[in-house]
């Protein structure tokens, strides 16, 4: 389609899509940019968060955030062997590990923290949100109940917030930020404190005659399990970094995965199956990502709880067609009418009760295709009598 025709057609469709307002295109040459014809709401929609992340971008974001990217030959051989499967997990298409890892990396980086911290769930749970230990810890970060409550993770009958990747990650990152500041930005000291407690680390520094700002963490009188915890994370960071030298591994990482985001439990939705239908997303994935909501039933515990969902499911669902507004259709003979008449195409006239999903299904389109072709987004309201473009011209 020629640019002029495309601009007039877009303006015509916006006239139908914008309640109470008609946008008309002039046949006179434009003295301003074409973008001036687009309402601010549509410009804002174009800036909405990406619904997918590329695995290679996730990998690079992780590398860029490392506090200690240097790796030595033979460094922590035991833990390199123990966690040798992790790069394969990230490259595998059959798991949720890469989307979850991407989510945690971004949460960590948003707080200006080193991305070594994003490796903790590999050590604690293998990046399994529903992981439970026989000794009591649970979830991605393996909080025990008392620690979870101390960090404002809700635990109520029917809802264990430790099993919520959103709730537990928020709490873990907030605690790590506190520790990172407490120990002069030394990621190793912060991890030691996360594992053994800040008072034990302060005591070890005092006994060693060291201060946090110039400490040598490897020499501190701390339990071997705590020293091993730090070595595990460093070994993991080196394994993932070095995996990038493999052509086949990088090729496997060059794929799109859902970008995850945390949202409040929506009003009026009782279970994850209903949420999945409303947003046309995978119910099985929603349940895997949100084991805190047992059997997919959305818990109501008298305080806000969250869901971790693909970004595509985070926007409010598109509403069903409402009553038509009292606006006049475009007058024949103007630029809008000429544009509509000039472009022969299939159009669908919206009837009461129809949704973008039902219309798209009827014509063999995806909902996103239908909305994009008509300069609409997930917040747009369909109204009876609105004409939607079916064919892309």
Q: What is the pLDDT of residue 25?
A: 34
**What is the rounded distance in angstroms from the CA atom of residue 277 to the CA atom of residue 269?**
11
**37-56 as b/e: b if 16+ CB within 10 A:** bbeeebeebeeeeebbbebe
Categorize the per-residue pLDDT at 375 as very low, low, confident or very high, splitting at 50, 70 and 90.
confident
The stretch 235-250 carries a mean pLDDT of 96
Tokens representing residue 181 in the block: 């500041």
pLDDT at 14 over 60: no
Q: What is the pLDDT of residue 22?
A: 34
Q: What is the pLDDT of residue 140?
A: 97
- The alpha carbon of 142 is separated from its chain's Cα centroid by a whole number of angstroms, namely 21
> Which tops the pLDDT comparison, 388 or 286?
286
Categorize the per-residue pLDDT at 74 as very low, low, confident or very high, splitting at 50, 70 and 90.
low
> Which tops the pLDDT comparison, 34 or 191?
191
Q: What is the pLDDT of residue 23?
A: 32
Q: What is the pLDDT of residue 116?
A: 98
Min mean pLDDT across 5-9, 52-56, 94-98, 324-328 is at 5-9
Min mean pLDDT across 9-23, 72-86, 129-143, 258-272 is at 9-23
Tokens representing residue 235 in the block: 């070994």
Min mean pLDDT across 3-12, 183-192, 280-289 is at 3-12
Q: What is the pLDDT of residue 48?
A: 54
pLDDT at 222 over 60: yes
pLDDT in tens, 316-330: 654 445 444 444 555
DSSP letters spanning 150-186: HTT--EETTEEGGG-HHHHHHHHHHHHHHHHHHTTT-
The stretch 117-123 carries a mean pLDDT of 98
pLDDT in tens, 276-319: 988 888 999 999 999 999 889 998 888 878 899 998 887 665 44
The stretch 74-86 carries a mean pLDDT of 90
pLDDT at 20 over 60: no
CATH fold label, 3-23+39-48+319-389: Membrane-bound Lytic Murein Transglycosylase D; Chain A (3.10.350)
Percentage, residues of the chain above pLDDT 90: 56
pLDDT in tens, 227-240: 999 999 999 999 99
Reported pTM: 0.70
Q: Return the top range by mean pLDDT from 8-12, 79-83, 296-300, 365-369.
A: 79-83
- The alpha carbon of 69 is separated from its chain's Cα centroid by a whole number of angstroms, namely 26
Antiparallel, parallel or unpaired: β 347-349 and 387-389: antiparallel
Q: What is the pLDDT of residue 346?
A: 84
pLDDT at 360 over 90: no
Q: Return the top range by mean pLDDT from 38-47, 252-261, 306-315.
A: 252-261
* Within this chain, domains 3-23+39-48+319-389 and 52-253 share the same CATH topology: no
Q: What is the pLDDT of residue 378?
A: 67
Q: Which CATH class is domain 52-253?
A: mainly alpha
Q: Average per-residue pLDDT in the chain?
A: 82
For residue 157, count other CB atoms closer than 10 A to its CB: 7
> Which tops the pLDDT comparison, 24 or 52?
52
> Which tops the pLDDT comparison, 306 or 104?
104
Residue spans per domain, the chain: 3-23+39-48+319-389, 52-253
Helix (H, G, I), strand (E, B) or coil at 248: helix
pLDDT at 258 over 60: yes
């Amino acid at each position: 389609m020629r640019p002029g025709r495309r601009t007039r057609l877009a303006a015509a469709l916006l006239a139908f899509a914008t309640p109470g307002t008609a946008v008309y295109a002039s046949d006179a040459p434009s003295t301003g940019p074409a973008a001036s014809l687009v309402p601010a709401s549509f410009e804002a929609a174009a800036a909405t968060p990406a619904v997918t992340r590329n695995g290679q971008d996730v990998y690079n974001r992780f590398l860029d955030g490392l506090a200690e990217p240097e790796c030595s030959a033979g460094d922590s051989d035991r833990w390199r062997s123990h966690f040798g499967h992790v790069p394969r997990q990230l490259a595998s298409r059959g798991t949720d590990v890469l989307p979850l890892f991407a989510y945690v990396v971004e949460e960590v980086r948003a707080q200006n923290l080193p991305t070594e911290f994003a490796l903790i769930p590999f050590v604690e749970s293998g990046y399994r949100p529903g992981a439970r230990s026989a000794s009591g810890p649970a979830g991605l970060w393996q909080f025990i109940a008392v620690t979870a409550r101390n960090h404002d993770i809700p635990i109520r009958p029917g809802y264990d917030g430790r099993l919520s990747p959103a709730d537990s990650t928020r709490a873990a990152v907030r605690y790590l930020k506190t520790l990172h500041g407490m120990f002069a930005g030394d990621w190793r000291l912060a991890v030691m404190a996360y594992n053994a407690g800040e008072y034990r680390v302060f005591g070890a520094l005092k006994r060693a005659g060291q201060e946090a700002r110039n400490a040598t963490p490897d020499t501190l009188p701390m339990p071997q399990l705590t020293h091993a915890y730090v070595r595990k994370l460093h070994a993991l960071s080196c394994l993932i970094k070095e995996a990038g030298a493999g052509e086949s591994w990088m090729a496997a990482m060059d794929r799109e995965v859902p970008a995850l985001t945390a949202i409040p439990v929506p009003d009026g939705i009782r279970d994850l199956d209903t949420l999945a239908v409303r947003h046309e997303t995978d119910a099985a994935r929603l349940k895997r990502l949100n084991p805190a909501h047992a059997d997919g039933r959305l818990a109501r515990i008298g305080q806000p709880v969250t869901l971790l969902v693909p970004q595509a499911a985070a926007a409010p669902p598109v509403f069903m067609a409402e009553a038509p507004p009292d606006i006049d259709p475009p007058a024949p003979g103007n630029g809008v009418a000429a544009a509509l008449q000039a472009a022969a195409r299939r159009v669908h006239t919206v009837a009461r009760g129809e949704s973008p999903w039902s219309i798209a299904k009827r014509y063999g389109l995806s909902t996103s295709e239908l909305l994009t072709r008509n300069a609409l987004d997930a917040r747009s309201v369909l109204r009876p009598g609105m004409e939607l473009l079916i064919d892309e011209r």
